């Protein structure tokens, strides 16, 4: 907490009046006193109207958080621009946390559903795969988050992921199947691969070859919007 510092200059007038009152008459005794009734009332601050647009929660890890990209250039930021440009009244809330796993997502999905979102864009699991976590654990966690989102009345758009080729074909295939199978079982919309058209283009990826650049995030947003749009209400 930041402490307020009392400036010495603010104390000098009071001290000066005390000394002069004891030593000599007040020099401006006929000076008009400003009273509270003479002060000009300040206009009341206007309260901004509440944002009543339906909520789309971008619930994910560093890919949603926009790791390594300039502020305001994550894919959820660009997604909001896509939505606005198309004339839809939706508000994107970014709940991406860098480094998060599906276990972390399970612990905080309640924060997302408290927003009463119309759509939950679920983008998690990549860090599970990169850490080589058991596939069944990842699957169970994703399923639980889908169930909780749907129970809160939200539609779910599941963002599919894959892994670097050095993780081995069996593990990679099993990892990719998690998203495909859950989308069928839970009847959610699916983005087959979130980084489609970006991950294979080095100029659109940062040096870690995991996170998109700002321009890469713009393309990701276009991919997401293509799959998100059918979930919107038919207006406009």
Q: Write the CATH number for 117.
A: 3.40.50.1110
Q: Tell me, what's the pLDDT at 50?
A: 83
- φ and ψ of 233, to 5 deg: -60, 155
208 given a catalytic annotation: yes
Q: Give burial (CB, 10 Å; 0-12/13-18/19+) of 17.
A: exposed
Q: Tell me, what's the pLDDT at 43?
A: 54
Q: Tell me, what's the pLDDT at 41?
A: 52
Q: Tell me, what's the pLDDT at 236?
A: 55
Q: Tell me, what's the pLDDT at 81?
A: 98
Q: Tell me, what's the pLDDT at 49?
A: 75
Sheet containing 189-191: which strands, arranged edge to edge? 91-96, 55-60, 119-123, 155-159, 189-191
- Evaluated on CA atoms 71, 92, 76, 148, the torsion sign reads positive
For residue 87, being part of any structural domain is answered with: yes
Q: Tell me, what's the pLDDT at 144?
A: 98
Percent of the chain with pLDDT over 90: 76
**Catalytic residue (choose from 51, 170, 211, 227):** 211
**Catalytic residue (choose from 51, 52, 170, 208):** 208
Domain extent for 150 = 55-231
d(CA 122, CA 141): 12
For residue 180, being part of any structural domain is answered with: yes
Q: Tell me, what's the pLDDT at 28?
A: 52
Residues of the chain with pLDDT under 70: 1-48, 234-236
pLDDT digits (tens, 9 = 90+) for 23-56: 444 545 444 444 444 445 555 566 667 889 999 9
Q: Tell me, what's the pLDDT at 35?
A: 45
**Catalytic residue (choose from 30, 51, 62, 64):** 62
Q: Tell me, what's the pLDDT at 104?
A: 98
For residue 26, being part of any structural domain is answered with: no
128 given a catalytic annotation: no
Q: Tell me, what's the pLDDT at 29?
A: 47
Q: Tell me, what's the pLDDT at 30?
A: 46
For residue 6, being part of any structural domain is answered with: no
For residue 72, being part of any structural domain is answered with: yes
For residue 169, being part of any structural domain is answered with: yes
Q: How many domains does the chain have?
A: 1
Q: Tell me, what's the pLDDT at 99?
A: 97
For residue 104, being part of any structural domain is answered with: yes
62 given a catalytic annotation: yes
Question: What average pLDDT is seen over the chain?
Answer: 86
CA distances from 111 to 20, 44, 59, 159, 200 (A): 62, 33, 10, 19, 34
d(CA 220, CA 10): 55
For residue 69, being part of any structural domain is answered with: yes
- Evaluated on CA atoms 85, 90, 93, 94, the torsion sign reads negative
Q: Tell me, what's the pLDDT at 45?
A: 61
């Amino acid at each position: 907490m930041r402490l307020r510092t009392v400036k010495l200059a603010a104390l000098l007038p009071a001290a000066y009046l005390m000394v002069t009152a004891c030593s000599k008459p007040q020099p401006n005794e006929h000076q008009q006193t400003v009273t509270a009734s003479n002060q000009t009332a300040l206009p009341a601050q206007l309260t901004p109207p509440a944002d009543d647009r339906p909520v789309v929660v971008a619930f994910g890890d560093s890919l949603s958080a926009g790791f390594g990209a300039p502020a305001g250039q994550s894919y959820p930021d660009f997604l909001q621009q896509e939505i606005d440009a198309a004339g839809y009244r939706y508000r994107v809330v970014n709940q991406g946390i860098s480094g998060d796993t599906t276990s972390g997502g399970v612990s905080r999905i309640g924060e997302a559903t408290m927003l009463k979102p119309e759509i939950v864009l679920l983008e998690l699991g990549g860090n599970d795969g990169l850490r080589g976590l058991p596939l069944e654990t990842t699957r169970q966690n994703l399923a639980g988050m889908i169930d909780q989102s749907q129970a809160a009345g939200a539609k779910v758009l599941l963002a599919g992921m894959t892994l670097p080729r050095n993780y081995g074909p069996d593990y990679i295939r099993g990892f990719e199947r998690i998203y495909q199978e859950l989308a069928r079982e839970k009847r959610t919309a699916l983005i087959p691969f979130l980084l489609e058209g970006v991950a294979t283009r080095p100029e659109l990826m940062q040096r870690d070859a995991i996170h998109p650049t700002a321009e890469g995030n713009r393309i990701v947003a276009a991919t997401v919007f293509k799959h998100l749009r059918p979930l919107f209400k038919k207006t406009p």
